[in-house]
Amino acid sequence: MSEVKLAVLGGSGAGKSALAVRFLTRRFIGEYASNAECIYTKHLSLDGRQIHLEIYDPCSQPQRGKLSLTDELHWADGFIIVYDISDRASFAFAKALLYRIRESHIGACKKMLESAVFLVGNKQDLCHMREVGWDEGQKLAMDNKCQFCELSAAEHYQEVVAMFTKVLRNVTSNFKVKEKRRPSGSKSMAKLINNVFGKRRKSV
């Protein structure tokens, strides 16, 4: 059994909750509580391997001064950075997040960064209102050596699953490369996570 922790980050309204909920429940419900941060948990099987997945979905209040990401960077094994292709401000926010993640990984294993961060241009169904070009997203991802895709949480269930699956594969293969195993004190780890993110956990 591997434990994988993913943080879904991005500007308010980019579709972080929509993506997480779509992956976990197959549903797109349109409206999501935005005033609470939560960690969703799910057991799944990938390539015959059991995975205990935790997805951190931060609250959507404007995160002024909350770009330090220190807690998230320590907690997460992988990051999904979401922006809305019809909202340039969310793209700028994604850029700042990627910069922050890259900066924190300087000196760390590069390969790990390349495969464990996914930049996602969401709301592709709104391409008639597009403010951010596909090539801009692609370039930002290349500059930060992370993966990239555009999709729609509302309309592209298969793409959402494919994106999460790719992140999970990359993260678990990073575990192998680094021979990283969870420290035996997993209880104290759980305690730490609760302290960092509060006790609000939802099982889906």
- Please provide residue 87's backbone torsions phi and psi, each rounded to the nearest 5 degrees: -140, 100
Q: Does 34 bind ligand GDP (CB under 6 A)?
A: yes
Q: Which of residues 157-186 bind ligand GDP (CB under 6 A)?
A: none
Residues ≥6 apart with Cβ < 8 Å to 128: none
> Which of 4, 7, 8, 17 forms a contact with Mg ion (CB under 5 A)?
17
The interaxial angle of helices 88-104 and 134-143, nearest 10 deg, is: 10
The burial class, CB within 10 Å (0-12 / 13-18 / 19+), for 159 is middle
Nearer to Mg ion, 16 or 156 (CB): 16
**x/- string (CB under 6 A) for ligand GDP, residues 47-86?**
-------------x--------------------------
Q: Do strands 78-84 and 201-203 pair parallel, antiparallel, or not at all (unpaired)?
A: unpaired
Cβ-closest residue to Mg ion? 17
When asked if residue 104 is in the footprint of ligand GDP (CB under 6 A), the reply is: no
Relative orientation angle of helices 16-25 and 157-178, to the nearest 10 degrees: 90
Q: Which of residues 112-151 bind ligand GDP (CB under 6 A)?
A: 122-123, 125-126
Residues forming beta bridges with residue 147, ordered by sequence position: 118
Q: Least distance (Å) from Mg ion to the CB of residue 16?
A: 5
Q: Is 16 in the site for ligand GDP (CB under 6 A)?
A: yes
Rounded to a whole number of angstroms, the minimum distance from the CB of residue 109 to ligand GDP is 29
Q: Binder to Mg ion among 60, 115, 144, 152 (CB under 5 A)?
A: 60
Give yes or no for a contact between 76 and 93, defined as CB atoms under 8 angstroms apart: no
**Residue located via tokens 């993640």:** 101
Instruction: Between 25 and 188, name the residue whose CB sits nearer to Mg ion.
Output: 25
Binding stretches for ligand GDP (CB under 6 A) = 10, 12-18, 30-32, 34, 60, 122-123, 125-126, 152-154
